Structure 1
Amino acid sequence: MSELDFTSILLRKNSLRKAVEEASIADLEKVLADLTEIKAEKLAQKEAEEAAEAERLEAIKKIQEQMAELGLSADDIAAQTAGKTGKKGKVPAKYRLIDADGKPHEWSGRGRMPKVFEERINKGASKEDFLIVN
């Protein structure tokens, strides 16, 4: 039985009645107790989420009040943090080689070594042979 079928049975009284017609009173009481416990857990989880959201909104309100007292706006904060995403951009090539077809290949020295460089090193060259000298 799929989850959808199970949910469909639980949500329709006649389907539920048919599904439990062979169950004993003790079994039905156990199911009822389990459902009551699950309901209480869900309610507690919902209350905790609502409390956390209320706390978050209160913190935002306090920060907005502090910003207003100091004459700051969200744009002021955004201007100070613009460009500070932590990403450093593209790393310049440190190594270069020209293949047999005359095509240049460059590598920053970071990450996995390109196959072209790997093949040349396996034939006896060293990485230093491909250093780009400025």
Structure 2
Amino acid sequence: MSEPLKSLNNIRTLRAQARETSLELLEDMLAKLSTIVDEHREEQASVRKEKENKQAKLEAIRAKLIEDGIDPQELLNGLTPKQGTRSKSVRKSRPAKYKYLDNNGFEKTWTGQGRTPRVISDAIAGGKLLKEFEI
């Protein structure tokens, strides 16, 4: 709460200020404050009325659903996302197309995707064909 509102909310401060203020000015301030309070009450009543109208509409829709044989809870359960399902598709790994022996003599495979293994690229540079490594 701001300092001016704190002083307006304190009865002792108001009484002290009122002693130093003319009656005409106090009545003018009272009229303005009454206008503000009335506007605030009307705004609150309007918000409350909108909530009541919305609730009445929801109840009417609920009654119509029940009349048509639809359980509102069943409707809500049908709209919620299912747990445990993945939104991303999982791609299968590609089968190997090429086979080669690495520098340690172990047999390795390559799908043909991505960077060419050094052993194969060195062999191609040495005159071999990629077709020679096919499985």
Q: TM-score, normalised by structure 1?
A: 0.54
Aligned partner of 2:75 among 77, 81, 93: 77
Q: Which runs of 5+ in 1 are unaligned?
A: 99-134
Q: Distance in 1 between matches of 2:58 and 2:67?
A: 14
Matches within 5 A, 1:1-134: 3=2, 5-83=3-81
Given that 2:65 and 2:71 are in contact with CA atoms closer than 8 Å, whether structure 1 keeps it comes out as: yes
Kindly provide the amino acid, as one letter, of the partner of residue 81 in structure 1: L
Deviation at 1:27, TM superposition (A): 1.5
Kindly provide the amino acid, as one letter, of the partner of residue 56 in structure 1: K
What secondary structure sits across from 2:19 in the alignment?
coil
Q: Which runs of 5+ in 2 are unaligned?
A: 91-113, 116-135
TM-aligned CA distance change 1:70 to 1:20, over 3 Å: same
TM-aligned CA distance change 1:65 to 1:22, over 3 Å: same
Deviation at 1:58, TM superposition (A): 0.5
TM-aligned CA distance change 1:28 to 1:91, over 3 Å: farther
Kindly provide the amino acid, as one letter, of the partner of residue 58 in structure 1: A
Q: Distance in 2 between matches of 1:22 and 1:16?
A: 10
Given that 1:9 and 1:16 are in contact with CA atoms closer than 8 Å, whether structure 2 keeps it comes out as: yes
* Identical aligned residues as a percent: 19
* 4+ residue runs over 3 A deviation: 89-92
Q: TM-score, normalised by structure 2?
A: 0.54
1:2-38 CA distance string (max 9 Å, x none): 71x4333323322211123222222112210110100
The Cα RMSD (Å) is 2.8
1:26-83 CA distance string (max 9 Å, x none): 2112210110100110110111011111101101110110111012123322243233
Kindly provide the amino acid, as one letter, of the partner of residue 20 in structure 2: E
